[in-house]
Amino acid sequence: MKKEFLDLGRQPIANKFLKKDGLEDEFFFNLKVVFDEETKLVSIKDFVAPELMFNEDYAYNTSLSTPMVNHFKETAEMLNMKFRPRKVLEIGSNDGPFISNFSKVDSICVEPCGNFAEITNGMGYHTYDNFWTTDLSEKIISEHGYMDLIYSANCICHIQDLDDAFKAIKNTLSPSGVFVFEDPSLLRMLERGSYDQIYDEHAHVFSVTALNNILRKNGLQIFSVDNLSVHGGSNRIYTCHLESSTIGDSVKQNLKEEKDFGIDKFETYQIFANRVEESKKILHEKLSDLKQKGKKIVSIGATSKSTTVFNYCGIDSSLIDCITDTTPDKQGLLAPGSHIPVVDRESVNLNDYDYAFLGAWNFKEVIANKESDFVENGGKFITHVPQIMEFS
Ligand code: JHZ
C-alpha cells in the first residue's frame, strides 16, 4: 500500500523556463509524495506525462557543468578498466559527456530529448530519440545485439514504470553484462533535509533497499554500491543477472545503514515531512525579514531543485530579484512558477546584492570559491541544506 507523507503543493514543470508572453498556459500539478509499504519505494503520487518534461526544449545541458563532465570522464575510465565492455548503451545520454569516452562503433544512446539526441547523433553515436521501454529494447537487440555495459546517470529515477525499465534492461544485457546507474540517494536526502530532490522529473527517489527489492523482482541483482558526493549525495548501483556475481560488502553496508536510519518505516517519512514544513516557514520568514530591512537578494543556479523550493515556500520576485545561471538556454527567461528572471552571471555585479541564495547548493564549494569577491565585499550566502543558515 502507498501512503502519502508530504505535500509540496502546486508545482510547475521544473525545467520549463518561460518567456514573458508564455505565462498564461503554464502547466501546474500537485506534488505529493508517497511511501510504498511493500517495496519501500518513495515516489511522486501523481506522475506528470513524460512528454511534458522530456522533449526538444529540455534545458539541462550536462556538458556546461565542468564538475559533472569530469565526473563522467572518471566514471567512464573506471568502468572501462573494471569491465572492459565492448558494446555499451547509455540511457539518457543528454549531450554526451559520458558516451564520448567510448567507441563510436560499438556504443549507442537512448535519449528522448530531441535537442540532445541530435547532438550525440552528430557526434557519431547512434542515438534513439525515444523513451526507454521493453519495445525499444527489442528493437535495439535486433539492430545491435546484447550489451556488455548499460549505463545511466540521473535518468532511471525519471522512469515511472520501473518494472518495465528493468525488464528491458535484463533483456538487453549480455550474460556477463553489467548495468550501472546513479541517481540521488534517498538516505542523503532524508539526512540533509534536501526535499528539493523531489520535483516532476524525479518520479522516485531511490534507497538501495527499495532498488534491491524491485531489481530482484525483475531478474537483476545489486552486487556493489558506491556512495557519491555528486548532486548532493548519490548512489552508483552495479547490477547483473541474478546469481551471476557475489554480493559485495558495500551492498550489505548500505542496506544496514538504511535500516538503522529507519528507511523501511513510514514514521521516518513523517518526521522528515515535519522538518520540511519547518524549513519552509523559516526560509520564507528569513527572506521576508531581510527584504523588509531593505536588503537585496539574488539566487545562484536556476536548478530544478530551486523550482521546488521557490514554489513550495511561496518565494517570487518580490523576495528574490533574479537568478544567475551559466546555461544560455535558461538566460533571459523566467523561472518556472515563481517567474523570477534568470540572467547570465556575467551580466550581474554580485556586489550589488547583500545575500545570495544557493539554488545550486550541491555546488556550494565551487560557487563560494568562484564568488570570493562577493564575500570580501560583505556579501553572505543563504542555504536551506541541511538547515536554513547564512554563511560567508
Ligand atoms: P544541477 C538536474 O537537476 C536535472 P538540477 C536532472 N533532472 C537531474 O536528475 C538532476 O540534475 C540530477 C548552474 N550553475 O546540476 C548550472 C551556475 O549557474 O544542480 C545549472 O543550471 N553556476 C537531470 O537542475 C545549475 O546551476 C555555477 O557555478 O537541480 C546546476 O544544476 C554552477 C556550478 C552551476 O541540477
Tens digits of residue pLDDT in 153-202: 999 999 999 999 999 999 999 999 999 999 999 999 999 999 999 999 99
pLDDT of 79 reads 98
pLDDT of 245 reads 87
Report H helices in the chain. Answer: 50-53, 66-83, 114-122, 134-144, 162-172, 186-192, 208-217, 249-261, 266-292, 304-313, 364-370, 372-376
Ligand 1 pocket check: which of 363, 367, 384 to mutate, most ligand atoms within 8 Å of Cβ?
363
Which atom of ligand 1 sits closest to the CA of residue 345?
18
Q: What are phi and psi of 358, to 5 degrees?
A: -95, 90
Preceding amide of 386 cis, omega within 30:
yes
Question: Does 243 score more than 90 pLDDT?
Answer: no
Rg (CA), the chain: 21
Question: Are the CB atoms for 182 and 151 separated by under 8 Å?
Answer: no
Q: What is the CB-side half-sphere exposure of residue 108 using CA atoms within 13 A?
A: 20
30 alpha-carbon distance from chain centroid:
19
pLDDT of 75 reads 98
Average model confidence (pLDDT) for the chain? 97
The residues near 58 (Cβ < 8 Å, ≥ 6 apart) are 15, 113, 115, 116
Q: Verify whether ligand 1 is closer than 6 Å to residue 362 (CB atom).
A: yes
- Ligand 1 midpoint to CA 68 (Å): 9
Of 43, 38, 39, nearest in space to 6 by CA: 43
Q: Give the integer Cα–Cα distance in Å for 27 and 336.
A: 9
Q: Verify whether ligand 1 is closer than 6 Å to residue 11 (CB atom).
A: no
- Ligand 1 midpoint to CA 219 (Å): 33
Q: Give the integer Cα–Cα distance in Å for 200 and 2.
A: 18
Q: What is the CB-side half-sphere exposure of residue 335 using CA atoms within 13 A?
A: 29
**DSSP structure class, residue 248:** P
Q: Verify whether ligand 1 is closer than 6 Å to residue 65 (CB atom).
A: yes
Dihedral angle computed from the Cα positions of residues 57, 62, 66 and 70, in that order, rounded to the nearest 10 degrees: -170
Question: Are the CB atoms for 250 and 283 separated by under 8 Å?
Answer: no
3 state SS for 23-85: CCCCCEEEEEEEEECCCCCEEECCCCCHHHHCCCCCCCCHHHCHHHHHHHHHHHHHHHHHHCC
With cut-offs at 50, 70 and 90, classify the pLDDT of residue 61: confident
Q: Is 31 exposed, middle or buried (0-12, 13-18, 19+ CB in 10 A)?
A: buried
Q: Verify whether ligand 1 is closer than 6 Å to residue 327 (CB atom).
A: yes
**DSSP structure class, residue 7:** E
The residues near 49 (Cβ < 8 Å, ≥ 6 apart) are none
pLDDT tens, residue by residue, 118-139:
999 999 999 999 999 999 999 9
Q: Give the integer Cα–Cα distance in Å for 144 and 138.
A: 10
What is the mean predicted confidence (pLDDT) over 363-367?
Answer: 95
Q: Verify whether ligand 1 is closer than 6 Å to residue 70 (CB atom).
A: no
Question: Does 369 score more than 90 pLDDT?
Answer: yes
Of 95, 120, 366, nearest in space to 231 by CA: 366
C-alpha separations of 365 from 207, 283, 298, 299, 370 in Å: 26, 21, 18, 15, 8
Nearest CA to ligand 1 atom 34: 301
Q: What are phi and psi of 132, to 5 degrees?
A: -80, 115
Q: Give the integer Cα–Cα distance in Å for 258 and 383.
A: 26
SS3 content of the chain, % helix, strand, coil (to 5): 40, 25, 35
Of 25, 11, 18, 73, nearest in space to 333 by CA: 18
pLDDT tens, residue by residue, 307-349:
999 999 999 999 999 999 999 999 999 999 999 999 999 999 9
Question: Does 22 score more than 90 pLDDT?
Answer: no
